[in-house]
Structure 1
Amino acid sequence: MTNCEFTPISTFSDRYSLQFNGSHLNNYSFNNCKFNGKCQLSNNNGFYSATFSNCSFNDVFIIPSVLSNSDDLILFENCNINYTESNFIYYSPAAYTKGTYSQIKFDSCTITNSNSKSTVFIYAYAKPNGYCYFNNCTIILPSTITIFDGYPTNISYIENYNINFENSHLPSDIKLIGDSYKSNSNIKINII
């Protein structure tokens, strides 16, 4: 989709959903699109891969699947992204799901938390393996947010997960990882 605008009707105040079904490789691409109102990018039978280029989101909630293939990528490039949910990214589908290799990348994006009640930036309900990478991004978060935390079961299912912030500054006093996940040395957060 190119040069599209998604706008809920004026009487709709909930969060509308874009559902991705088996989105492997480059099945879904959005270029110069505006997502007005509250939206969520949902895992419905598999949100594994999509590209969002030069898009703007008024208020987005990202719910990817952890069961991706190694050549799948969810990419946001040059996007302006706002969010107000408790979490920015919420890995799915279930708390007992052991991830294969999910990849999410934000390149030259502005990400703004617009709700001081948000608690966790990236939440592992399902257990991800792979990476989440922020490159040359402006990230505006309150220092009370924890970067990575999740549902406190099956923590050992995370065998290789990296969060990288390259030239993407965070508040200096922010908590990087939740207490229940600190025991898993396979989770690495790198600030470069």
Structure 2
Amino acid sequence: MRLDPDSGTIEGQWLLLVHHSPGRLRVRADCFRDASELADRVRGELGETQGVFSTTHAPLTGSLLIEYSPDAADVESLLAAIVDSAGLDGIVDAKALSHSRKAPAEHIVDGVRRLNGLARELTGAGLYELIPAVLTVTGIYSLVANPSQKGLLPRWDNALYWAYSVFRDGVREEEREEDVARVSGAVAFRPRPHV
């Protein structure tokens, strides 16, 4: 049984804490989906708990809505009762899980970095060198083979501009990485002389 919040994957049977405000608790679990006997058993046990007014089961989402008196019952004991009676592995907070997942842009950046490493391993040059080379060849070919600049090929001047732009940005990025590696987290401190 494994919980990996960084990737957003949950292996095993976990109780997901969807929402809590004093008097209302919403939880979800895959084992509560459809017409679940397990959800009915949990509802029955919670119905006998002091301070619980009602328990509503939503079979489509697999969620339980528990309405209770905050003075008579505490949320920790309710969650523990649900986990114990359903035989689940533990509790996961939905808000913490959603905040810990990587943004889609981070996945794209990681993929491009892996692709850059693969290109460097195969050709000895990274994407910052290969893409400008391809764009330069495309621009020259477009100038020679398509002087009217009509058709599917990009205009030669656009291709050369983007070749320069990608190469320039790549050089800047590599210089930034070299600076970070050189400093490696340590900043030299020079005290100012007292006058």
Same fold (TM over 0.5): no
Higher RCO (CA 8 Å, separation ≥ 6 residues) = 2
Structure 2 length as normaliser, TM-score?
0.19
Rg larger in structure: 2
The structure with the largest helix share of the pair is 2
Larger strand proportion of the pair: 1
